[in-house]
Structure 1
Amino acid sequence: MPSSANNIRNIVVVGAGVAGLTTAITIQEKGGYSVTIVAETFPSDPKTIKYCSFWAGGHHVSHAGGDARLQKIDSDTFKIMWDLSAPGGDAEACFMRISETQYFYDGRDAHLDWMPDFKRLPEDSLVPGAKVGVTFTTLTFDCPKYVNYLLARFLARGGTVVRGSVQHVNQVAEGGADIFARGRASSAPVDAVIVCPGLGARTLGGVEDDQVYPVGGQTVLLRAPWVTFGRSASHLSEARWTFTIPRKSGEIICGGTKVDNDWYPVPRPETTEDILKRCLALCPELAPPEVRAVREPTVDDIRSLILEEGVGLRPARKGGIRLDVEWIEGRKGQGKIPMVFNYGHSGAGFQSSWGSASIALDLLEKSLDAFSL
C-alpha cells in the first residue's frame, strides 16, 4: 500500500544526468507521486568528468539500427523533443532544427527512414570512401542548457533535489533522501527506488553491474554561427567518427572519438588536432566565410575559433540499456519495495531519454500495483 495517507507515493531517483532527470520528471508529472532526486552532481555545478551529460555533443540521430524496441524508444523521444523545440515551445532555446547529412563507410543501412524528410544520396554525391549517404531533418540540443532546463522543470513541478553520494541502494531504501540532507531517516518510507546512476552503476552497492563500462569521447567546441547544418561520417570498426553539430547559440561541437574503457579524464592535444583535421575535411564551411572566399581553408583558420575541448565518459553497458525491476528490502516492517533500473545508454542518453523514462514509469506502476494487491 502507499506509504502516506493521501495515497501519494514517495519515490527516490538516484542520479541527475539526462536519464535521471527525464525519468524523475516523467514520474512527477504523471501525478500521485512525490519524487526526490539524490545525486552527487547536478546540472548547475561546474563541469566534471563524473557527469557525462555536460559533455554530450547533442544531435538526435538514432543508433537503434534494426532494433525495433530501441527505435521506438528513440522515436518517442524525438517526438517529445520536436514539440519542445517548436517556436514558442517549452524549451525552444535549447534546440536547433537542422538538415543532417550522414555518410557510412561500411555500407550499412542506417535505418533512419522514419526521420522527417529522409532521402538516400546518389553515389556521385558521396564523400570519398563512403558507400552510403542519407539526409534528413533532425534537431540538435545544447546539452548543458537542456539539462538545466530539465532540472528547473522538475523543481517547478514540485520535485525535490538532495545532494548526496549514495554508496548502496539500501541507504535510500531504508532512510530515504533525508539521511543525506539532514542526517536522519525520512519521516515517510520510500515506496520505490529508481536507479539512473550512469557509469556509477559499476560501483553502486546493491547494483554493482560489471557489464557497465565507459566509452571515452573527446570533442572540440568552436564558435561558428554561420554553420547551420550537421554532417557526420562513421565506420563501425573504428574508434572514432567525425561529426559537426551546430547549436542555436552559434557554437558547434566537433568530434570525435569512441574508445571502450578509456578513462582518461582530460583532452589529449594530438586528438584535438586529429578532430580539427577530420572535421574541416568533412565540413570546409567551418572556416570563416571571408577565408573561404579567397583560398582553401586550413586547420589554422579554425584553431582560433576554439572555445573549449572536452572529454566525456559515456556510460555504456553490454547488452544495452537496462530497463527492469528487482525487489529490495525497504524500511523495517515495510517489506520489499521495487527498484527500477534505467541506465546503460552509452552515447544515446539524450536521444533515448523520454522513451526510456516512459518504460521506467510503466515498470514502476506495474510493480506498485502488484504490491498493493
Structure 2
Amino acid sequence: MRVRVVGAGVVGLTSALRLAQAGHAVEVVAAATGEGTTSSVAAALWYPYRAYPEADVTRWSATSYRALRGLTSDPAAGVRMRAGRELFRRHTPDPWWRDAVPALARVAAERLPPGYVDGYELNVPVVDMAVHLPWLRGRLDAARVPVRTRHVADLGDAFDDVDVVVNCTGLGARELVPDTSLTPVRGQVVVVAQFGLAEWLLDQTDPEHLVYVVPRGDSVLLGGTAEERDEDVRVRPETTADILRRCARLVPALDTARVLGHRVGLRPGRPTVRLETEFLDRGPVIHCYGHGGAGVTLSYGCAEDVAGLVSRLS
C-alpha cells in the first residue's frame, strides 16, 4: 500500500522503517526533523515512563527491548546495553512492567546510597539519539523512503496520492486531530562530558523533580523535570543548577564535570497511548501517539502494531 507517515520523531521513523520492510511504499512528512524533534532531547534510557495502558506498554516495551538489544552489534546505531539502578527511599514491589525485561534483581544493601532502602538493578538499552536518529534516516534512505519537511495542518490533506496515513505527531496531535487529552510534560536536561561513568542511576521520589544520570558514548545526560502543562521550551538557569545539584548528590564526581549543553523538550502525555485505526472520509488513519516519556522505549514495539494494522487494510 502507499503510506504517508506524519511525524519524524523516533516513533514516526521506526514505523516508516517497519512499513517499508513489510513491502509498502512509504513517505515521511514532518514539520520538524532531527534536532527539531522531541526525540532528540530524550535521555533514551529504556524505561516505560509515564506510558499506559500497562498490558500494552509492557508488550511494546518488551519488543523494543529485543530490537534495541539486537542493534548493539551495529556501532553506527548508537545503542549500548548498560547496567543501572533505580533507587527508592521506601520498600517497593516489582514494577508492573517486570515481564518486559529478561532479568531484574534487587540492589544489595551495601550498594544502596545513604537514604535509600530499596532498589532494582537491571541491564537495559541506552540510545544516543544524536546517533540513532541519523542512523534511522540512513536506513530509510537505503529503503528509498523519502523524509520531507512539510507542515500538515489537516489529516485529510495528507491523503494526496496515498492509501493510508499514519499519525505519529506526538504532542502535535493535540491540534491536528484534535485531541484535548494530550498534555505537555516539560523536561529539561543537562549534558556533561563523559568522565568514565558506566552505570545509569534513577530516582523518582519526587515525580516532578526527577534524578537521572544516563551515560552515553562521550557524554552523560542529567535530568530532570516533569512539569505538566508547562510549554516553556526555554532553558531555565535555575533549573539547570538544581539538576546539577540533585545529580551530584547521587554521583559526587559530577561536581567537576564539564557542561556541554542544555536541552528542553515537551513529552506528549496522555492517559493511554493511542494506537488504533480511524476511518475518515478520505481514508484510514492509523494513530500512534501519546507515548508520554517512553517514546524510544515503545517505538519498535508500536511500529510492529502499526505495520499489522496497515496489513489488515490491504
Shorter-chain TM range is over 0.9
Residue 98, structure 1, aligned to residue 82, structure 2: yes
Give the deviation of 1:137 after TM superposition: 1.1
Alignment of 1:191 with 2:163, yes or no, is yes
Counterpart amino acid of residue 104 in structure 1:
F
Cα shift at 1:149: 0.9
Matched residues in 2 for 1:198 and 1:361: separation?
18
8 Å contact from structure 1 (residues 338, 364) kept in 2 = no
Distance 2:124 2:113 in 1: 21
1:14 corresponds to which letter in structure 2? V
User: Aligned pair 1:203/2:182, yes or no?
Assistant: no
Alignment equivalent of 2:42, drawn from 32, 50, 56: 56
* Map of 2:4 onto structure 1: 12
Shift of 1:362: 1.2
Aligned pairs for 1:1-373 (under 5 A) are 9-31=1-23, 33-43=24-34, 47-48=35-36, 51-63=37-49, 67-86=54-73, 89=74, 91-105=75-89, 107-111=91-95, 113-114=98-99, 115-123=101-109, 125-173=111-159, 176=160, 189-204=161-176, 207-235=177-205, 238-248=207-217, 250-286=218-254, 299=255, 301-302=256-257, 305-317=258-270, 319-330=271-282, 337-366=283-312, 368-369=313-314
CA deviation string 1:241-298 (max 9, x = no partner): 10111112x2000111111111111111111111111111111243xxxxxxxxxxxx
Tell me the alpha carbon deviations over residues 124-155 of structure 1, each in whole angstroms, 9 at most, x when there is no partner.
54334434201111121111211111111112
- Which letter maps to 1:359? D
Instruction: Provide the rounded CA distance (Å) in 2 between the counterparts of 1:154 and 1:99.
Output: 30
CA distance in 2, matches of 1:29, 1:23: 10
8 Å contact 2:52–2:272 — kept in the other structure? no
Moved more, 133-142 or 119-128: 119-128
> Which is greater in Rg?
1
Quote how far apart the aligned CAs of 1:231 are. 0.8
How much does 1:61 deviate? 2.1
Letter in 2 for 1:55: V
Query: What is the CA-CA distance between 1:116 and the residue it aligns to?
Result: 4.5
1:297-322 alpha-carbon deviations (Å, 9 max, x no partner)? xx3x23xx0000111111111x2210
Q: Is the 8 Å Cα contact of residues 7 and 167 (structure 2) preserved in structure 1?
A: yes
* CA contact 1:65–1:109 (8 Å) conserved in 2: no
- Quickly say closer, same or farther: Cα 1:113–1:211, change in 2 above 3 A: closer
Give the residue type in structure 2 aligned to 1:232. L
Mark the CA change 1:110 to 1:252 in structure 2 (over 3 Å): closer, same or farther.
farther
RMSD: 1.9
CA distance in 2, matches of 1:104, 1:270: 26
Q: Distance in 1 between matches of 2:77 and 2:145?
A: 23
Distance, in Å, in 2 between the alignment partners of 1:68 and 1:172 is 32
Cα gap change, 1:105 to 1:259, in 2 (>3 Å):
farther
- Alpha-carbon shift at residue 14 of structure 1 (Å): 0.6
Deviation at 1:359, TM superposition (A): 1.0
Aligned 8 A contact 1:263 1:313 in 2: yes
State the AA in 2 paired with 1:95. V
Number of residue pairs the alignment of both structures matches: 311
Q: Which amino acid aligns with 1:258?
A: A
Q: Which amino acid aligns with 2:165?
A: V
**Counterpart secondary structure, 2:280:** strand
Q: Which runs of 5+ in 2 are unaligned?
A: none
Alpha-carbon distance in 1 for matches of 2:134, 2:83: 26
Structure 2 counterpart SS, 1:347: coil
2:20 corresponds to which letter in structure 1?
Q
Where does residue 3 of structure 1 map in the other structure? none
